[in-house]
Amino acid sequence: MTRPAILITGAATGIGRAIAVKFASQGYLVGAYDVDTTGLATLAAEIDHVVTGELDVRDPQAWQRALEELTRASEGRLDVLVNNAGILRSGPFAEIPLEAQQMIIDVNVNGVLTGCHTAYPFLKATPGAQVVNLASASAIYGQPELATYSASKFAVRGLTEALDLEWAADDITVRAVWPLFVATAMTEGMDIGTTRSLGIRLTAEDVAEEVYDVVQPHRLPQPVHRAVGRQAKLMLASAGFSPRWLLRRINSRLAAH
Q: What is the DSSP string of 114-169?
A: HHHHHHHHHHHTSTT-EEEEE--GGGSSPPTT-HHHHHHHHHHHHHHHHHHHHTGG
Q: Is the pLDDT of residue 118 over 90?
A: yes
- Quick one: pLDDT at residue 83? 98
Number of domains observed in the structure of the chain: 1
CATH of the domain at 76: 3.40.50.720
Whole-model pTM: value is 0.92
**Averaged pLDDT, 123-134:** 98
Show Cβ contacts of residue 7 under 8 Å, excluding neighbours closer than 6 positions. Answer: 31, 33, 66, 67, 70, 78, 80, 81, 82, 119
| Residue numbers of the domain that contains 51 | 5-255
Q: How far is CA 173 from the centre of its chain?
A: 15
Task: Report the catalytic residues.
Answer: 149
**Averaged pLDDT, 130-143:** 90
Other Cβ atoms closer than 10 A to 257: 11
Q: How far is CA 213 from the centre of its chain?
A: 14
- Quick one: pLDDT at residue 255? 64
- Quick one: pLDDT at residue 245? 64
Q: Is the pLDDT of residue 1 over 70?
A: no
Q: Is the pLDDT of residue 242 over 70?
A: no
Three-class SS state of 170: helix
- Read off the amino acid at residue 32: A
Q: What is the pLDDT of residues 177-234, one digit of tens each?
A: 999 889 888 888 777 877 777 777 789 999 999 999 999 999 899 999 999 988 877 8
- Quick one: pLDDT at residue 197? 74
Show Cβ contacts of residue 63 under 8 Å, excluding neighbours closer than 6 positions. Answer: 55, 57, 114, 115, 118, 119
- Quick one: pLDDT at residue 24? 98
- Quick one: pLDDT at residue 186? 81
**Averaged pLDDT, 114-137:** 97
Mean pLDDT, the chain, whole residue set: 92
